[in-house]
Amino acid sequence: MKKRIVILGAGESGIGTALLAKQQGYDVFVTDGGAIKESYKNELALHKIAFEELQHTEAAILNADEIMKSPGIPEKNELIKKIRAKGIPVISEIEFAYRYKGDSKIIAITGSNGKTTTTALIYHICKTANIDCALVGNIGFSFAKQVAEDPKPLYVAEISSFQLDDIKTFRPDVAVLTNITEDHLDRYEYKMQKYIDSKFKIVENQQEGDVFIYNMDDEETIKNINNYPIKSTLYPITMSKQLPQGAYLTNAQMHLKWKNEEMQMSIEDFALKGKHNQYNSMAASLAATAVDIRKEKIREALQTFESLEHRMEPVVSIKGVEFINDSKATNVNSTWFALESMDKPTILILGGVDKGNNYSLIKELVKEKVKAIVCMGIDNRKIHEAFGDIVSLIVNTSSAEEAVKSAFHFANKGDVVLLSPACASFDLFKNYEDRGNQFKQAVKSL
């Protein structure tokens, strides 16, 4: 009897899992409550994989031996409750891909902020060192699809807490935890501890000889690290002291200590600017060292890395006003990092779907740096409540175009207009990329 796997959600991870499962001889069924993209439907048809869209046929789902659920589906979903009640094992895409990765190595990166930049930077270092590898997970391709169609000796995987929630055996050779701050609490019953547990699952299956890179300066990480039985070798990063092993920063120099080697590099030479990027650069350098990449290649890669789209991306300057697209800032901490690196008077565009945001975290920075706030969302009450007493100019807008026009109107020569929303984008946009692209379009049509 073929094992039956049912895939809930036909996005990138769902389609990837379906292709790998079919290749591995499973009986595969894909189901999506919404419409499936044309290109994905063509792929499923080409591989003769059964699917349905705009519905979930329970009889065809509850007879599964195993279920792979898309990271977007919450536990409180009625169908998930029925699946759990029947005791059908639920796994995530990274768990399924892991089973078939063979001898390949995995560097896995998670964290509330900085994970995409750190992942992209590690991949850039690997490419600079001519290593045959793939960028997978939350960024790049589906991990499962990569394993099915073009397996590589090394995978650099960005992994969200939702993907970690449903792992059983997934074990990265190198795990990186950038930091833990309040995010997605709506998915964890608003319990911070549940979210923290989820992040630490990245080291759950690691053994001696595996490597765990973490930020010693991150309060939540340090408060919780001893609550888990971690077997891997710990390599911390810090800006507060010198370390015998790991990476640290003193006098604007990064020191990287690995076994009995040491590398030094001036932060002036980092292509990425800002304190948060110094942490990302330290974490990425350590991860690269852990897979035996030479110091010269790491140095070269840190100097040549170009920042990511929608992450502190300079758009253009108009009449001396600089526009920056940080649409990827979907939580308050990301916006904190963005504001922290501003050295000019700032008009801040905020708002969207609030995930239980605590705006007091950025109050001091807003007071110090922000001269006007432009709200871009359906419901902006919380923003007005949080900043009404410290910012005299707060306006509501309901499109990227309107937000950009208002912000430009408030700006003088030498100011910055920063889109760093601190919220998810689903009220007015398809996703943060769509939000960033519409912002850039609106800026260019000024």
Does 47 have pLDDT greater than 90? yes
- Mean predicted confidence (pLDDT) in 58-73: 95
> What pLDDT does residue 393 have?
95
Give residue-wise pLDDT tens across range 102-137. Answer: 999 999 999 998 898 999 999 999 999 999 999 999
**Contact status, residue 363 vs residue 386, Cβ threshold 8 Å:** yes
CA distances from 170 to 163, 166, 296 (A): 10, 10, 32
Range with the lowest mean pLDDT among 52-56, 182-186, 267-271?
182-186
Give residue-wise pLDDT tens across range 206-221. Answer: 999 999 999 999 999 9
**Contact status, residue 177 vs residue 107, Cβ threshold 8 Å:** no
337 vs 166 pLDDT, higher one: 166
pLDDT bracket for residue 311 (50, 70, 90): confident
Give residue-wise pLDDT tens across range 429-438. Answer: 989 999 999 9
> What pLDDT does residue 333 have?
83
With a threshold of 0.85, does the pTM exceed it? Answer: no
Query: In whole angstroms, what separates CA 256 from the centre of its chain?
Result: 25
Q: Where in the chain is the domain with CATH 3.40.1190.10?
A: 95-304
Does 184 have pLDDT greater than 80? no
Give residue-wise pLDDT tens across range 193-204. Answer: 999 999 999 999
For domain 95-304, the CATH architecture is: 3-Layer(aba) Sandwich (3.40)
- Mean predicted confidence (pLDDT) in 381-398: 95
What is the dotted CATH code of the domain comprising 4-91?
Answer: 3.40.50.720
- Mean predicted confidence (pLDDT) in 413-427: 94
- Mean predicted confidence (pLDDT) in 153-173: 96
Long-range contacts: 265-270, Cβ < 8 Å, 24+? 265/299, 265/302, 269/299, 269/302, 269/303, 270/302, 270/303
> What pLDDT does residue 355 have?
80
Give residue-wise pLDDT tens across range 232-283. Answer: 999 999 999 999 999 999 999 999 999 999 999 999 999 888 888 999 999 9
Q: Where in the chain is the domain with CATH 3.90.190.20?
A: 313-444
Share of residues in the chain with pLDDT > 70 (%): 100
Q: Where in the chain is the domain with CATH 3.40.50.720?
A: 4-91
Domain 313-444 has CATH 3.40.630.10: no
From 31, 43, 24, 106, select the one nearest 68 (Cα to Cα). 31
Query: In whole angstroms, what separates CA 175 from the centre of its chain?
Result: 14
d(CA 431, CA 32): 19
